[in-house]
Chain A
Amino acid sequence: MSHDHHDHDSPEYLKKQSKIIWIVGGILFVATGITVGVMDLDLGSRSMNIAFGMLIATIKASLVMLIFMHLKNERGLIYKFLSFTIVFVIGLFVLSYLGFIDPLHSNLISTK
């Protein structure tokens, strides 16, 4: 799907791909069950539950991107696009963070 090599169009390769897709789909099903289950587990604090839940979501998202969206074998140009995207998304999250701090008026450097 990602490379234009002829061996990637061979029936053997495609059959293998079909099998991998089912396996990854199964893993995603199980991971979704774990995400729900982990919310009721006593991990010490609520923050730990949230962190664990988001970690599983990130793993699931990575599997979708790498296997389903074939980023695993993708060309460098796509990675360049996505690196810019990541920078901008981080920027968007920093903007929200600026709602809670005031870097212009708070004493970032102690004068004492």
Chain B
Amino acid sequence: MEIPYTVKARPDTGLWNAKIGIWLFLASEVMLFGGLFSSYIFLRIAPEGPWPVQVLTVGWGFLNTLVLIFSSVTVLQAWVALKMRKYNHFRVWMVLTILCACGFMAIKSVEYYDKFHHYGILLQDGSNLEGHFPKGKEYKIKFSDVKTVTLAVRPNDKGLFGLSIFHNGSDADFLSYIVEGKPEFKTPDGTILTLDKITLKELLHKELGKKDKDGKPAPESYIKLEATNPLRFVIPPSKLFDNAYNASKATFRDSTVIEGKLESDQMHLECDRVDLRRLFDAEEKSDEKALASVQNADVWRILGEEWKTKFNAHHDKVLKEFKDKNGEKRNPMTSSDYVRHVYAMKLDAHGSEHSSVVPAATNNGGHKAQEHAPKDDHAEHATAAGGHGHPEVTIEKKDVKFYSNFTPKYGNYFAIYFTLTGLHGLHVIAGALVLTYFLLFGKKLYDKDPEHMANRVEVGGLFWHFVDLVWIFLFPLLYLL
């Protein structure tokens, strides 16, 4: 069946059908993104806590904006080439457009990767440290002298569509976190077993086959295994239930319990920012009171007193600059820029005027802030030129109220950031797929009816420009404001 009005305009609308279709679709897209932009403004005006400061790299956002604008130009050139019946030119422009889409997503991936590895650590008093876990010192929970492992055995529950919200009990995952000792255990019936995936599965299967007095399978049972030699575990916290460990016991997410001695749950952090804005009321109008409230912050115990001295000098300098610019009458606490600049201080040589010498301080709690020594020649040059390193600190878990990488869990900003950019990214992928289809399978239609092909590319191009349009607003909102 021939679809009408793919090339010629419908007499009543004056437009070919696909054009009306794409504009109706774009209208609904405008409302979708409009709702999300509205949510962003809502969250920005009345945030639940201090709004993060300069957590996105402007350079990446800027580059991505240029990439999308260029792709908008190339997709139009592809359409012009089709209208001029230059199919080979169309293919070149379309390849360029698709390469731009891939480039955009590659840059976005780099940005996302950075966020997934950037952490914020909220201390018990509300002060906050941001930074990266140093390479090779990622946050892990260490248990030594582990002599008992208890396996949870549950019947396999596939749940709805094979997805069960209840865990099916122990699996062999815990074995991969043994770093010292042989996984050899004595079972309750006295057998000595070296556990691996297969023997563990057999053991669990045997236990599942047991029935109670009424001949029914038990809903849940446990197998207590005694290690024949002390084991040492190094466990990523994501593998344990949240805070489900104490000095002698840890529970994995699959309900396996190990008993031994908590060796260490310290965090190491290469700090790049200290944020003290939660230590005073958001409506605080007295700079003196705000400054007084941060003097005994937990961060100084961790970073060392020298950093407090530097912070106070930083405060005085910014306050002087503010007064020189605005006069004595204006209250600095009415300026969100001032509050952000002073109380969310960068801890690096390039962002702070106080980092030319990074102090090595030992505090009462035994924490130590030390310079993260640069390794390569370039970094050594930067150190000599004025200090490159971020202070590296050790934080006891008991001092931490909450910690997260820069993901939606960290707060509203990242929730709306990932929602908006993630949805936009999906649009980029969808648009790129459509354009790739035109590139790979368009020749047949072009040979049959070149104008129909041009109209298809026009519709795809309109969607692509919409993707560009959304980014034009996303870039300043998320990266610059």
Contact = CB atoms under 8 A, between A and B. Distances in A.
Interface of A: 1, 4, 9, 11, 14, 17-18, 21-22, 24-25, 28-29, 32, 35-36, 39, 46, 50, 53-54, 56-57, 60-61, 64-65, 68-69, 75-78, 81-82, 84-85, 88-89, 92-93, 95-96, 99-100
Interface string B32-68: 0011011101100110000000000010001001100
Given A69-B465, A77-B14, A93-B41, A53 B476 contact: yes
A109 B8 CA distance: 57
B39 A57 contact: no
Given A75-B13, A78-B23, A89 B34 contact: yes
A82 B72 CA distance: 21
A96 B38 contact: yes
B90 to A, nearest CB: 12
A42 B153 CA distance: 66
B83 A9 contact: yes
Q: Which of B9, B24, B69, B481 has the most CB of A within 10 A?
A: B69
Contacts of B65: 32
A18 B80 contact: yes
Nearest 7 A/B pairs, CB to CB: A89-B34, A25-B73, A96-B42, A85-B27, A96-B38, A28-B69, A92-B38
Contacts of B19: 78
Interface string B305-339: 00000000000000000000000000000011100
B24 A64 contact: no
Given A14-B83, A75-B15, A21 B476 contact: no
Interface string B335-363: 11100000000000000000000000000
Contacts of A76: 14
A39 B465 contact: no
Report the interface size class on chain B: 35 or more
Contacts of B458: 1
A104 B425 CA distance: 40
Contact of A93 (B27, B34, B77): B34
Contact of B31 (A1, A25, A89, A100): A89
B62 A36 contact: yes
A39 B336 CA distance: 15
A77 B15 contact: yes
A77 B13 contact: yes
B62 A32 contact: yes
Given A61-B472, A96-B42, A99-B42, A53 B480 contact: yes
Contacts of B468: 64, 68
